Amino acid sequence: MPKIFREMTDNMNYLYCDVLASLGQMPIEKRAYIFGIDEEEDMDWVIGVLNYIIVEYIKYSFDYDDPEYPLNHFVDYNNDSERMLQSRTMQYVAKYKKKQLETHAIALPEDHKFANLDLDTIEKRLKGRRLTEMNYYEHQNIHNVDLIKAIVERRIVSSKKVSNERFQEMFEQYDQVVQDLIERSKKSDEDMVFASLALFTLEWHCPVELFYYLACVMEGEGITDIRQDDLALICGDVWIESQFGGSASTHSRMVKERFCVVETLFGKDTDEFVREELRDLIKEILVLGVEYKELIGSTDGGLYKEWFRRESSIEDWASFFRWYDIFSIWEKKEWTRTRIQNMRKLFDLVLAPKS
């Protein structure tokens, strides 16, 4: 296959083109519905869906190979104050994670790292919990980044709990977190992959950049109401019945690609027929993403995602992320009272139980 992106390694180009070719082998009715027919295919949609699948494959591959360590790998075990601080952090994060899993009706096996919070001593907690570097980074953010903590605790929606001035301070701190990731991404292949997936995970769990972009659209068009179901469709938990058969329960996490649909999906002047067609199209793309993660096989009889993991390397992933540039979703925030109000509304919708 030809090398279509000079930024990528030869192997990453091969893998990219291979997934692209597999999209062309979908049943013709489904392919035509999602992408258009033959010469009239919408290549923006094709590349968007392809990138969405590749990011999921890379994340799966990274998570599979990311080694776990006891907490004292990350902490100065001989420093009492640091050890106690990290123990409290882990307790806080574990409580949040367990509640999150229970909210989504996910049963925890007895040996799950968040199933038992009642370890007797600090030493047992430090030795008993095993984390990857990415786990540790995420947990520190949940506890230490004020904006994420306010979102986790659902305080962000209330001006009484978080004043407008404090609101802006929290976002300034968050912007610095993202800028630090951008700087880290420039250091090495490993850092590029880690930083890219770290921002992907941050935005997946807390869609800060999406909500800021949407808040600006709402302000510009005078939009005051957003459908909760539409918001969930691009950043929440969804259950979908495909018109091509089958169903899927998934979390919508087309982190970069969803920016392309915001103005049409939520635009004040969008024709309702067009909006409904877009909703159906997004649903089918999400189902397709689940199929590629969990069902699509390779020629060796296993799952394609496993073949991708074995055949790719961190050098390949880094070359993809340099071209893909997930950091382009980040924007320095400029605040007005209306934008702050819109952001609170959006977080209220995504944090509230689905009606």
Task: Give mean pLDDT, residues 210-215.
Answer: 98
Task: Give percent of the chain above pLDDT 70.
Answer: 85
Tens-place pLDDT, residues 121-137: 445 454 556 788 998 89
- Structural element, H or E, at residue 70: strand 69-70
DSSP string, 175-235: HHHHHHHHHHHTT-HHHHHHHHHHHHHHHHHS-HHHHHHHHHHHHHHT-----HHHHHHHH
First to last CA, the chain: 49
Q: What are phi and psi of 232, to 5 degrees?
A: -60, -30
Residue 161: count of CB within 10 angstroms of its CB: 12
For residue 83, pLDDT beyond 90:
no
User: What pLDDT is attached to residue 111?
Assistant: 44
Is it the case that residue 96 has pLDDT exceeding 80?
no
Whether the pLDDT of residue 120 is over 50: the answer is no
pLDDT digits (tens, 9 = 90+) for 144-185: 899 999 998 899 999 999 999 999 999 999 999 999 999 999
Reduce the DSSP state of residue 301 to 3 states and report it.
coil
- pLDDT at residue 353 is higher than 70: no
Task: State the residue for tokens 């009642």.
Answer: 118
pLDDT at 101: 54
pLDDT at 100 over 60: no
Mean pLDDT of the region 182-198:
98
Q: At 19, give phi and psi (nearest 5°).
A: -65, -40
How many Å apart are CA 284 and CA 51, to the nearest integer?
16
Amino acid present at 106: I
pLDDT band at 75 (very low <50, low <70, confident <90, very high): confident
Rounded Cα gap, residues 312 and 305, in angstroms: 10
pLDDT at position 15 over 90: yes
Average pLDDT over residues 37-63: 90
Does pLDDT of 64 surpass 50? yes
> For residue 265, what pLDDT is reported?
97
| Residue 304, helix vs strand vs coil | helix
Q: Are 266 and 230 in contact (CB under 8 A)?
A: yes
Tokens representing 267 are: 């635009």
Residue 311, pLDDT score: 96
Category of 301 on φ-ψ map: left (φ > 0), alpha (ψ -120 to 50) or beta: left
Residue of higher predicted confidence among 29 and 69: 29
Please state, for a pLDDT cut of 90, what percent of the chain lies above it: 65
- Coil, strand, or helix at residue 292? helix
Q: Is residue 61 pLDDT above 80, yes or no?
A: yes
Beta-sheet pairing, 130-131 with 237-241: unpaired
Strand partners, 237: 251
Average pLDDT of span 218-231: 95
- Which residue type sits at 46? V
In this model, does residue 85 exceed pLDDT 80? Answer: no
Q: What is the band of 4 on the pLDDT scale with cuts at 50, 70, 90?
A: low
pLDDT tens, residue by residue, 255-307: 999 999 999 999 999 999 999 999 999 999 999 999 999 999 888 889 999 99
For residue 351, name the pLDDT band (cuts at 50, 70, 90): confident
How many Å apart are CA 42 and CA 20, to the nearest integer? 14
DSSP string, 77-142: TT-HHHHHHHHHHHHHHHHHHHHHHHHTT-PPPTTSTTT----SSHHHHHHH-EE-HHHHHHHHHH
Q: How confident is the model at residue 73 (pLDDT cuts 50, 70, 90)?
A: confident
Q: Are 263 and 308 in contact (CB under 8 A)?
A: no
At 87, the amino acid letter reads S
CA nearest 132: which of 62, 69, 64? 69
Of 235 and 4, the structure prediction assigns the larger pLDDT to 235
